[in-house]
């Protein structure tokens, strides 16, 4: 079992004290035998999973995956999980989209088993590197040609040639920059003479332009295998070219993407830690969840209304905002568009949230969290004199702000 977090006090005061020891407590929690073991196993094995069914059938991997999205209690819902993972989220009729629970959408979106190929030439910066080599080659060839007797003694012909070559270089380079990222196969590259011309010229193998069969084989095979044609020919230009373009790159899923496992493990550890806090103090646990979820939602490339509707559709986020803003118990029963209007209006007037992206600011987050914890403490201790509790908590908040 993971170690139990320490919370010195309840409500706002407990939350503030917890923040001062958060890093060290999380580090110790993550080092717990069970948490560390699950994280290690996930890191070492998730890359070999190729379908939702395989993930569901591996309970150790599934436990981490579900916990990372707050769905640990669904580990025995085998049929439901297989459907969610196999159907994905692109179709509006997919089960994840119909469950009215953002956790399933996030799970299906993260564990996307559709195979794609990420070729090196589709990455940012690839065109710049190749074009720099191509530019250097063309300019060098141009200078050599201008030194020939035909042009060296004829300034007019020399100037005309230079202008023509450099204009063509600019046009060809721009074409390469605009179109290389859309290439999806060796045949695509060969169907565009200008792209192929740059590819061959940049690596000094333009003299093989008419050896289409040879070149296609070189591009397709790559240079990882000693028996690949580029290696057999011992042509450094062909070897460098096929390595750079990487047409032999194997298809992969999101699970093989760089840092995928680390991101899921980080979510898993955070979620377990928040759950442990919630077991001790549900109010502080909810505040901790909001502390992580609010900036993540604020940073999404979505419209203002979409983000606020996400709040209304998430039980934790809704609870925090409703309580922090002092909204009545029946608020959730009114028309959803009216809920949106009221929520946005009161969030701006009470906490200065003119745009949901404001919640990426820790100070704005704290205004909402402190308001939530204050109202929760007052509600939980109403019989002990809410005015006195409010004064005590407000004093604590002022002290915290002075120390910040």
* pLDDT band (50, 70, 90) for residue 404: very low
Rounded-to-integer distance, Cα 347 and Cα 342, Å: 8
Per-residue pLDDT for 132 more than 50? yes
DSSP of 25-89, one letter per residue? HHHHHHTSHHHHHHHHHHHHHGGG--SHHHHHH-HHHHHHHHHHTT-GGGTT-HHHHHHHHHH-S
- CB hemisphere CA count around 100 (13 angstroms): 3
Span 97-101, average pLDDT: 85
Greatest alpha-carbon span in the chain: 103
pLDDT the model gives residue 34: 93
CA-nearest of 149, 151, 176 to 161 is 151
pLDDT at 391: 55
- Tell me whether residue 309 is exposed, middle or buried, using C-beta atoms within 10 angstroms of its C-beta: 0 to 12, 13 to 18, 19 or more: middle
Give the C-alpha separation, 72 to 271, whole Å.
10
Q: What are phi and psi of 298, to 5 degrees?
A: -60, -30
Take residue 104 and report the two structure tokens written for it.
Answer: 């399933």
pLDDT of residue 169: 96
């Amino acid at each position: 079992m993971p170690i139990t977090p320490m919370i010195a006090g309840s409500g706002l005061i407990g939350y503030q004290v917890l923040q001062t020891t958060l890093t060290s407590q999380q580090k110790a929690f993550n080092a717990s035998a069970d948490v560390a073991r699950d994280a290690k196993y996930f890191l070492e094995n998730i890359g070999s999973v190729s379908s939702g069914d395989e993930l569901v059938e591996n309970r150790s991997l599934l436990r981490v995956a579900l916990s990372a999205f707050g769905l640990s209690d669904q580990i025995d819902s085998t049929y439901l999980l297989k459907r969610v993972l196999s159907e994905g989220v692109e179709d509006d009729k997919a089960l994840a989209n119909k469950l009215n629970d953002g956790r399933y959408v996030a799970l299906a979106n993260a564990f996307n088993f559709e195979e794609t190929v990420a070729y090196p030439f589709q990455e940012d910066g690839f065109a710049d590197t190749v074009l720099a080599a191509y530019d250097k080659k063309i300019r060098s060839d141009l200078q050599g040609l201008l030194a020939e007797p035909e042009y060296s003694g004829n300034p007019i012909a020399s100037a005309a040639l230079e202008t023509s070559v450099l204009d063509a270089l600019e046009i060809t380079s721009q074409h390469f920059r605009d179109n290389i990222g859309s290439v999806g196969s060796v045949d695509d590259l060969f169907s565009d003479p200008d792209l192929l011309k740059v590819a061959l010229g940049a690596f000094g193998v333009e003299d093989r332009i008419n050896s289409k069969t040879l070149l296609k084989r070189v591009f397709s095979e790559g240079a990882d295998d000693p028996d690949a044609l580029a290696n057999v020919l011992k042509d450094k230009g062909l070897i460098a070219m096929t390595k750079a373009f990487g047409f032999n790159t194997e298809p992969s899923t999101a699970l093989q993407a760089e840092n995928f496992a680390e991101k899921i493990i980080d979510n898993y550890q955070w979620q377990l830690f928040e759950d442990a806090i919630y077991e001790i103090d549900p109010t502080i646990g909810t505040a901790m969840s909001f502390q992580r979820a609010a900036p993540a939602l604020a940073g999404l490339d979505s419209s203002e209304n979409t983000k606020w509707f996400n709040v209304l559709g998430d039980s934790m986020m809704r609870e925090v905002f409703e309580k922090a803003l002092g909204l009545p118990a029946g608020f959730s029963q009114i028309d959803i568009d009216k809920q949106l209007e009221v929520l946005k209006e009161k969030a701006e007037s009470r906490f200065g949230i003119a745009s949901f992206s404001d919640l990426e600011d820790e100070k704005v987050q704290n205004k909402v969290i402190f308001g939530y914890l204050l109202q929760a403490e007052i509600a939980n201790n109403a019989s002990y004199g809410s005015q006195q509790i409010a004064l005590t908590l407000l004093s604590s908040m002022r002290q915290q702000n002075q120390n910040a």
